[in-house]
Chains A and B, each alone.
Chain A
Amino acid sequence: MASPDDLTFQEFEEAADLLSSNPGASTLSISSPDDEDHQQESSELLGGEKQTGGFWTFEYYQSFFNVDAMQVLDRIKGSVMPLPGRNFVKHHIRNNPDLYGPFWICVTLVFSVAISGDLYTFLINKGNPEFHYRPQFNKVSIAAVTVFLYAWLVPLGVWGFLTWRQSVERHISGYTFLETVCVYGYSLFIYIPASILWTIPVYWLEWLLIAIAMVISGSVLVMTFWPAVRDDTRLTAFATMAVIVSLHALLAVGFKLYFFKTPTNTGSSHSGQQTTPAANHTTLAVGKHQ
């Protein structure tokens, strides 16, 4: 029968003696990460130092491309299927932010939006006999400016804000600038298949796709940034979240309204191209005032 004395902390002298006599003996420690985590941790431990050299050397930038194809795929999968409780930064990026993913996802998004918009304009105006299809390449440059500004300036703002709050209130954990850029870049991935599916000219399907894409990528962002602001005052926390989500929504709706616009007048004497600049200005103004 166990007495209270048995439950007090006991020094196991045998084990201590054994260990002191043979300090090099291997000890068994039980930990339970799953295989994938274990592999990631060991690869980081073996990975060596980050950011060798100053920012004017090539090696400095090479340290941001230290990813394998499987790691990139894994991060993309994590951005497409956000599970509650899994912080994208902690779980997928794990102190190895890369610039490959964000950069090439942005480039792909630029071209997919421009090309799909082209296709959509063609399909929507197929029945219109006065419409002469012309590929519109100025849209590529506009798409490029928009996407790259969003993917770099918004993370800069979010990071700056979080760092400022971190300096004001000690208990907030922030992210590095590269991790923020990484999260935003990977969260844009869902818009690539969405933009390809937007070419189907069914009205309710387009808006459904926008809603789904916004929800998925917005939730990746929210789940990443909520732990960082949750310890702040309620007002700041909710305001930050609201700004992040609304900017993301603005991007999605802006894409739809600019690149995939439905023609407002049919059967006019002008071709579809010349009426769209007017529609373009009004829809863009509408988009901005949302």
Chain B
Amino acid sequence: MAEVEESSKPLFAGLSDISISEDIPVEGDISVPVGSQNPDDDFSTLDEPVKDTILRDLRAVGQKFVHVLYPKKSSALLKDWDLWGPLLLCVTLALMLQGGSADSGEDGRPQFAEVFVIIWFGSVIITLNSKLLGGTISFFQSLCVLGYCILPLTVAMIVCRIVLLGALSSVSFVVRLIVVTASFCWSTFASTAFLADSQPANRKALVVYPVFLFYFVISWMILTFLPSP
């Protein structure tokens, strides 16, 4: 009999007796976030001092340098690619490698333009090759990675220049050889750590070989550099 009486009541009638607004606060407003979460959008970068703008980019470049020097599986180089770092490294390397105009004869060290063209043209060709083989990496990401991984070779160039301030002997040659070989291996390893993931497994070797050739040629240019007599 009690069951019949209960079933005649409307459903959930007892719920209104429970007041929950004092136990659980349900106030608030619901807003849909408009735009991206990027903190830069909160203020216009036009008003900030120039120092902040430059420092921000420099910090990004420096952070990527650190990622190249200690290559782990991080995606920092790929996600926020920029070409400032490669440009900086390329110009530094080309300036240090170029032959002076005082050299006699038409043969000589590579000119600034030659080094610059080799680095950029080489990077573009390797990127095109990777994309034609079906890679998933984008054009500028690949340029970014290849450019940043020239950092060990630039460091080796600086070391070679310092070593060459001393006497030109076979010991200095051996030292330079070791330094350049080590930085060549470092560069190739760092760039393949970033680039090889974007290819299917049976084509990894096809993508790694041009990178190897590219850094080999740059290493050769660094190793055969001699100061003008």
Contact = CB atoms under 8 A, between A and B. Distances in A.
A134 B205 contact: no
B132 A65 contact: yes
A138 B107 contact: yes
B129 A69 contact: no
Interface residues of B, number: 29
* Chain B CB within 10 A, most for which of A69, A118, A274, A277: A69
Given A62-B134, A65-B133, A134 B206 contact: no
Contact of A132 (B132, B210, B229): B229
B203 interface: yes
Interface in A211-254: none
Contacts of B133: 65, 100
A72 interface: yes
A277 B105 CA distance: 10
B64 interface: no
Contact of B202 (A69, A100, A135): A69
Interface residues of A, number: 27
B226 A108 contact: no
Interface in A135-170: 135-138
B220 A115 contact: yes
Interface of A is mostly: helix
B134 A108 contact: no
Given A67-B206, A104-B209, A138-B106, A133 B226 contact: yes
B57 interface: no
Interface centre among A62, A69, A137, A138 (most CB of B within 10 A): A137
B110 A69 contact: no
A273 B105 contact: yes
Nearest to A277: B106
Nearest to B103: A134
Contact of A100 (B131, B206, B225): B206
A115 to B, nearest CB: 6
A190 B221 CA distance: 25
Interface string A104-122: 1001100100010010000
A64 B108 CA distance: 38
Interface string B72-111: 0000000000000000000000000000000101111110
A134 B202 contact: no
B204 to A, nearest CB: 7
Nearest to B130: A65
Contact of B210 (A104, A135, A273): A104
Interface of B: 103, 105-110, 114, 129, 131-134, 202-206, 209-210, 213, 216-217, 220-221, 224-226, 229
16 contacts: A58-B132, A62-B134, A64-B132, A67-B206, A68-B203, A72-B206, A100-B132, A100-B206, A111-B213, A111-B216, A134-B103, A134-B108, A135-B110, A136-B107, A137-B221, A138-B106
Lowest 6 CB-CB distances: which A-B pairs, in order? A69-B205, A135-B224, A68-B202, A65-B132, A137-B110, A136-B107
Given A67-B206, A274-B105, 11 more contacts: A65-B132, A65-B134, A69-B202, A104-B213, A107-B213, A133-B226, A134-B107, A135-B109, A135-B110, A135-B226, A273-B107
